[in-house]
Amino acid sequence: MIKVVILGTGNIAKHLFDAFLGNGTISIEQVVGRSASALEYFKKSTQVSKNYKSVKDADIFIIAVSDDSIQAVSKKLSGKMGLIVHTSGSVSVKVLAPHKNVGVIYPLQTFSMNRPINFKSVPVCLEADQKKDLQLLRKLAESISENVHLLSSTQRKHIHLAAVFANNFTNHLYHLAHKICEENKVSFDILKPLILETADKIVDLTPYSIQTGPARRKDTKTMQSQLEQLTNQWHKKIYEDVSNSILSTYEPDHQN
């Protein structure tokens, strides 16, 4: 059994906890967090504590807190034996120094509080300096996911940026589409099959090969007319920039 302590009570802490529960390889020793109400969720199934001074012993300590708090929480673990890991996409493993046994377990998925997810298919990106630590971390990760990858801090930083485009920015484009529908009294539901098919397509085809739309076919008349439909300055800018980026992707000499 791999003994685990989770530090933090947010989305990732909760989804990891759910994935660990009832797993024959993992024993959750404790969940530690500052908020008593957030600890309620974990209390039924393991020991919880609000006190970072009473952290139990474990093989792996998983720091699942906001990026800015990782270092501070890791300092509270001084003197602990075992592997200390964080779960962030953009923070280097180095912030966990001076601990020697350090690593990262970064589940690359968008988690919502009340939306269950099949963790088996969640890509989990791992990093650890020491070979033995990596073996242990891999054993933990492979017990909850069938999609485990080794990534350096630099690679992780880049894929986190890629995820910002593919997830955060894409979701904002959905929001703009939603807004345009609302303002013109058209149901956003009409767009949902399109959104799902657009995402589904990239499972088998490269996004480069299936690009369509006014910018792809250099249809300046439609682009001009659509720009005029937009009233918000940021939305206009997004329309122009993404169109220019599409034009320059297929014609590297494009200068605007």
Residues 67-126 that bind a second copy (CB under 8 A): 67, 90, 108-110, 112, 115, 117, 121-123, 125
Residues 32-71 that bind a second copy (CB under 8 A): 67
114: Cα within 13 Å, side-chain hemisphere: 0
Helical packing angle, 36-43 and 11-20, nearest 10°: 10
Return the range that interacts with a second copy (CB under 8 A); candidates 14-22, 49-57, 135-143, 229-237. 229-237
Select the residue interacting with a second copy from 51, 165, 231, 253 (CB under 8 A).
165
Return the range that interacts with a second copy (CB under 8 A); candidates 19-27, 52-60, 74-82, 217-225. 217-225
Work out whether 220 is an interface residue with a second copy (CB under 8 A). Answer: no
C-alpha torsion 158→159→165→168, nearest 10: -120
Select the residue interacting with a second copy from 53, 185, 231, 253 (CB under 8 A).
185
CB 119 within 8 A of CB 18: yes
CB of 97 to a second copy, least distance (A): 19
Residue with Cβ nearer a second copy (2 or 128): 128
